Chains A and B, each alone.
Chain A
Amino acid sequence: MRYVLVLLLLVACTRPAPPPPPVDRGDDPIVARVGDEVIRRSEAERRVAMEIFRRRVDIHSLVSREVDALVERRLLEREAERRGTTVDAMLDAEVDTTPVAEAEVDAYLAEHDLAEDKRPRARNYLDGRRRIEQRLAFVAKLRERAGVEVTLAPPEMPRVDVDIEGAPSRGPNDAPVTIVHFGAFTDPRSAELAGWIAEVRERHPQKIREVFRHALKPRDELGLQAALLARDAQKKDRFWSVYDALFRKAGALRQSDLQALRAELELDAEPTDPSAASTRIVALREELEIAQKSGVHAPPVAFVNGLWFQHSFGEPRFESLVRDALSSPTVRESLRK
């Protein structure tokens, strides 16, 4: 019994073992430490994933062009070697340099309804195109015979961890689908996108969270004032009133609309003091930098659970992106809870 008491005392006095220190994983190294906490490379990369993606596409583009050039060179060299000649001599032999017949030029001028003074230009084109076609057909034949297979794969579209800290949001905070809308209040397409988001929210009120971030159009003074008004409203928890009212105008916003809204929501008048005005602009610029970092260069853009959507893709694509997000296994799991 005494031993048991001593043992219990020992256990009680023993501090729990500290968690093992975070280890540097090769595929996701630690890039910074803040006290006990660590920041891994992936955490930083997810925030600028679109910009990284653009650079990866650039690299892919350069490599891909070189692959094509190497394939063609290899094919021509192999064939020239087989024939016991040089590449240039082989191509000269394969390409007929006889000028096209005048009848062919006549036909082109007639078909394209061109005046007689275009004859030399048309002949240039027909001669040049024929030579190029012959060269292309020859290379295509070599490709087919050799069985060329290019296995270089393009990079995949990433999922972006958009910075939404401090941004206005509506819908459940723990909703399984988050849509971040980068828009401008003077932009009719942003207004249209706001409408599409409203429709999916109405259909799935408990499953979708909407977040808004400013992304101005260039040289848009009214858009700038509208963004500042919305930020003022956000401080008084009236952001979404401004959002709905401004987007209802479908981009046809006027100065008087902003004044009326400011009065209706009892917001302070625009500061006339230059230093106060410039502080507001600098704060807005910080928010606009988030758009840049997220890869948004022009509104409107939405991220659906981190996946990029641009207005020009159209509403059906937006709906399918939301549908996919709602049916993804992780989302289904969170909905069951």
Chain B
Amino acid sequence: MQGRLTLGVTVIVCMGVMGVADAQPKDPRLQPKRLSSVGDSITEAINAEEYNLFSPINPNHWASYANGYRGFWEWLLGRTNVNSHNQRITSAFGSSGRKNYMEGLSGADSYDLLPQMQQSVGRQATYVPVLMGHNDVCQNDFADIPTDAEFEANLRAGLEALRTGLPNGATIYVLAIVDIYKLWELGDELTSLGLINCQVVWAATLFDIYPCGTMLSPNNSEADRQYTRSRNLAFNQIIEDVVAEYEANDPHHHYSFTDETFLYDFTPSQVSGFDCFHPSAQGQKELSRVTWDDGPFGN
């Protein structure tokens, strides 16, 4: 009886703290001029178009779907213009008061959502795109992949920090984890291009030099890879459900989710010519396009 009462009180307190669904209108949406992206190596655009043979992890921030920009070197070398969220914001809302922060870090996973989102709070961001979870499914061992409950707890901890810390009217845009099985599939086709031998690159996962053994290790069976994909799908469902719940219950902030990142059919030229796995600058460009168009500031 006491347990049931405690549960009832908890539910009432939660509803009070978070507000009740359709009961209150939302605070007006702020312009997304203070961008603070949360994520991992995909947000950092690792190995997108520029790489160094002696280092497996080469950030290409200029090519990030979220924070990308175009400067002197990008112009000189004719790099792909990714038309990132950052560029689109300047184009749509002007350059005054613009801030472009990247909290994303290669190797980050759902356990880093809280610290990265706390940084976004510190920036007083008005727009927080989130693309995280690839390193939850990309692990050295299958038993390192978090359970649903662990993943959900991490996501909630981060979103709670945003809910209590971001300025009212800020937008949180959470993207589904990219279908990493599809990225793996492209390896054979990249090898057929004759530009890189993906099997050799991925063999490095055996020595933990290169992450994502649960998808890329040559020792994996097809069932192993499809198991990893099933975790990919399960985590995306959690993201969708939790984001919908926050959108319904928090009257002060705007939350959106898109699964376009998962559904997008990457092609070989949209995958890094260095590691055969991360999106290339062309891939980042497409990520930017599909997520912006489907997002809160898109068409």
Q: Do A and B bind each other?
A: yes
Task: Determine if A170 is an interface residue (Cβ-Cβ < 8 Å).
Answer: no
Contact for B227 among A53, A62, A118, A128, CB less than 8 A: A128
Task: Determine if B230 is an interface residue (Cβ-Cβ < 8 Å).
Answer: yes
- Contact status of A112 and B143, CB under 8 A, knowing A61-B186, A125-B227, A136-B222: yes
With CB as the reference atom, state the residue of chain A lying closest to B190. A57
Task: Determine if B160 is an interface residue (Cβ-Cβ < 8 Å).
Answer: no
- Contact status of A288 and B50, CB under 8 A, knowing A57-B193, A154-B192: no
Docked complex Cα distance between A171 and B198 (Å): 36
Please determine whether A288 and B185 come into contact, CB atoms closer than 8 angstroms: no
Best-buried of A112, A128, A130, A285 by chain B (most CB within 10 Å): A128
Provide the residues of chain B in CB contact with A65, threshold 8 Å.
185, 265
Contact for B268 among A61, A122, A224, CB less than 8 A: A61
Docked complex Cα distance between A284 and B72 (Å): 13
Please determine whether B145 and A57 come into contact, CB atoms closer than 8 angstroms: no
Provide the residues of chain A in CB contact with B226, threshold 8 Å.
132, 136
Docked complex Cα distance between A157 and B268 (Å): 15
Please determine whether A122 and B142 come into contact, CB atoms closer than 8 angstroms: yes
Please determine whether A60 and B189 come into contact, CB atoms closer than 8 angstroms: yes
How many B residues, CB 8 Å from partner?
Answer: 40
Please determine whether A61 and B147 come into contact, CB atoms closer than 8 angstroms: no
Provide the residues of chain B in CB contact with A122, threshold 8 Å.
142-143
- Contact status of A114 and B143, CB under 8 A, knowing A57-B193, A60-B189: yes
Please determine whether B224 and A129 come into contact, CB atoms closer than 8 angstroms: yes
Please determine whether A62 and B145 come into contact, CB atoms closer than 8 angstroms: no
Contact for B76 among A60, A121, A216, CB less than 8 A: A216
Provide the residues of chain A in CB contact with B193, threshold 8 Å.
53-54, 57, 157
Best-buried of B53, B73, B227, B270 by chain A (most CB within 10 Å): B227
Please determine whether A312 and B196 come into contact, CB atoms closer than 8 angstroms: yes
Provide the residues of chain B in CB contact with A55, threshold 8 Å.
269
Best-buried of B77, B147, B226, B270 by chain A (most CB within 10 Å): B77
- Contact status of A157 and B194, CB under 8 A, knowing A125-B227, A129-B227, A132-B227: yes
Task: Determine if A308 is an interface residue (Cβ-Cβ < 8 Å).
Answer: yes
Provide the residues of chain B in CB contact with A312, threshold 8 Å.
53, 196-197
- Contact status of A121 and B145, CB under 8 A, knowing A65-B265, A308-B194, A308-B195: yes
Please determine whether A288 and B147 come into contact, CB atoms closer than 8 angstroms: no
- Contact status of A62 and B267, CB under 8 A, knowing A114-B141, A289-B78: yes
Provide the residues of chain A in CB contact with B76, threshold 8 Å.
216, 224, 281, 284-285, 288
Task: Determine if A120 is an interface residue (Cβ-Cβ < 8 Å).
Answer: yes
Per-position 1/0 for A264-288, Cβ under 8 A of B:
0000000000000000010011001
Q: Which size bracket describes the interface of A in this complex?
A: 35 or more
Determine how close the nearest CB of chain B comes to the CB of A336; give it in whole angstroms. 31
With CB as the reference atom, state the residue of chain B lying closest to A123. B143
A-B contact count (CB 8 A): 106
- Contact status of A218 and B73, CB under 8 A, knowing A118-B144, A154-B192: yes
Task: Determine if A292 is an interface residue (Cβ-Cβ < 8 Å).
Answer: yes
Provide the residues of chain B in CB contact with A240, threshold 8 Å.
none
Please determine whether A297 and B141 come into contact, CB atoms closer than 8 angstroms: no
- Contact status of A128 and B265, CB under 8 A, knowing A53-B193, A121-B147, A298-B51: no
Task: Determine if A58 is an interface residue (Cβ-Cβ < 8 Å).
Answer: yes
With CB as the reference atom, state the residue of chain A lying closest to B273. A297
Which residues of chain B from 98 to 115 have a CB within 8 Å of any chain A CB? none
Determine how close the nearest CB of chain A comes to the CB of B162; give it in whole angstroms. 27
Task: Determine if B95 is an interface residue (Cβ-Cβ < 8 Å).
Answer: no
Task: Determine if B23 is an interface residue (Cβ-Cβ < 8 Å).
Answer: no
Docked complex Cα distance between A223 and B51 (Å): 15
Provide the residues of chain A in CB contact with B273, threshold 8 Å.
297-298
Provide the residues of chain A in CB contact with B269, threshold 8 Å.
54-55, 57-58
Docked complex Cα distance between A300 and B78 (Å): 17
Chain A to chain B contacts (Cβ below 8 Å), 30 pairs: A54-B193, A57-B189, A57-B192, A57-B193, A58-B270, A61-B186, A61-B189, A61-B267, A62-B267, A65-B185, A114-B143, A118-B143, A118-B144, A121-B147, A122-B142, A122-B143, A124-B145, A125-B227, A128-B227, A128-B230, A130-B223, A132-B223, A133-B221, A136-B226, A157-B194, A216-B76, A217-B50, A288-B77, A298-B51, A310-B195
Determine how close the nearest CB of chain A comes to the CB of B147; give it in whole angstroms. 5
Which residues of chain A from 20 to 72 have a CB within 8 Å of any chain B CB? 53-55, 57-62, 64-65
Docked complex Cα distance between A62 and B51 (Å): 26
